[in-house]
Amino acid sequence: MVPWVSFESGHYLRSSIRLIGWYFFFELGMRGVSVVELGTLNRFWARRELACGRNVLVFGTGRSGTTWLAEIIAAGGFKLVFEPLHPVEVPEAKGFPFPNYLLPGEETAWQPLLERVVAGAVVNNWTLRANPSAERAVVKLIRANLMMEWMIDRFDFHPVYIIRNPLSVAGSMKEQGWDVGVRYVQHVMERIWAKDGSSEGLEELFDHPITAVESYAIMWGFQNAIPIRRGLLKRVSFIRFEELARDPEGGIWPLARRIGLEMTPAVQRQLHRLSFQRGKQSWEKGYDPTTAWKHSLTPREVEDVSRIVRWFGLEEYMVLD
């Protein structure tokens, strides 16, 4: 690492990248490298410099690994802003609807708040978790999956989207005693699915009183099915929790290149730590976050979650082994 390249200051970082880039241009030009090849290198440095100037927003559902991923990025010197849309801990977000499904072109009275969210400016003693003076921010969100497309169209930031095995999500929520409200889930699902253009098949989900675990699976389902169905995987940096957990360095490296995250010792240490939001089981020695659901869910609950995931057509994101 060049000693004067610092993630504490985006200005110095961008200046350093620019100087290094011109140095390589000069050297390669003197060695007879073609104009086409130099043009390719120029585009590489331009993309790198652009990436290094934007904030990073981490999207995902509850218990999907958003906190861990945001902490990894923050370990590289980013300001960490935690859940700026929390309606209780953030006064500005009081009354913010969840889920808030916004389609491209829609107008919302919440746009000024969302602008501040992207800017990393919604901070208080609860949301601001690390590096308050950093120039770039990583913003962690579990209430924004259905606004992801709208936000990408409106604002300039680097979107990162993480998905975790729904069995793991349901098992973790069960362990932590999440209460999402089974009646609320049915109401929300009917409203969201209708807005997305179809209410067919909902009777299959709600032909019986759903359990808490089923409600977890349904919440996971529509918050991921809609972004995926609308093609957002092509517009974001996509990470699967299981791949990151099983191979932290290999899992983070493609994202690190895109956002200008340097693999410092602090980042490498955070890669091998669980987040401060971890559940009670994760304190146990030998805990594996990719298979802990096997100890949390009964066979019937596994069957229920699997049925719901199949209903949404998201079987490829469910890991049974």
- Quick check: 12 pLDDT over 50? no
Mean pLDDT, range 70-84, rounded to an integer:
98
Phi, psi of 297 (to 5 degrees): -105, 140
Q: Which range (3-7, 44-48, 90-94, 224-228) has the least confidence?
A: 3-7
Peptide bond into 99 cis (omega under 30): yes
- Quick check: 38 pLDDT over 50? no
- If one counts every other C-beta atom within 10 angstroms of the C-beta of residue 33, the result is 15
- Quick check: 212 pLDDT over 90? yes
Q: How far is CA 214 from the centre of its chain?
A: 23
Q: Is domain 55-317 given the CATH code 3.40.50.620 in the classification?
A: no
**What is residue 198's predicted lDDT score, i.e. its pLDDT?**
72
Radius of gyration of the chain (CA): 21
Q: How far is CA 260 from the centre of its chain?
A: 17
- Of the chain, the percentage scoring pLDDT greater than 90 comes to 74
* Element spanning 172, H or E: helix 166-176
Q: What is the largest CA-CA distance in the chain?
A: 74
Quick: pLDDT tens for 258-317. Answer: 999 999 999 999 999 876 555 544 445 678 999 999 999 999 999 999 999 999 999 999
> Is 260 exposed, middle or buried, given 0-12, 13-18 or 19+ CB atoms closer than 10 A?
buried
Quick: pLDDT tens for 215-261. Answer: 999 999 999 999 999 999 999 999 999 999 999 999 999 999 999 99
- Of the chain, the percentage scoring pLDDT greater than 70 comes to 80
**What is residue 257's predicted lDDT score, i.e. its pLDDT?**
96
d(CA 296, CA 75): 31
Q: Beta strand pairing status for 56-59 and 158-163?
A: parallel
- If one counts every other C-beta atom within 10 angstroms of the C-beta of residue 216, the result is 28
Query: Mean pLDDT over all residues of the chain?
Result: 86
Of 7 and 64, the structure prediction assigns the larger pLDDT to 64
- Quick check: 167 pLDDT over 80? yes
- For the chain, the domains span 10-50, 55-317
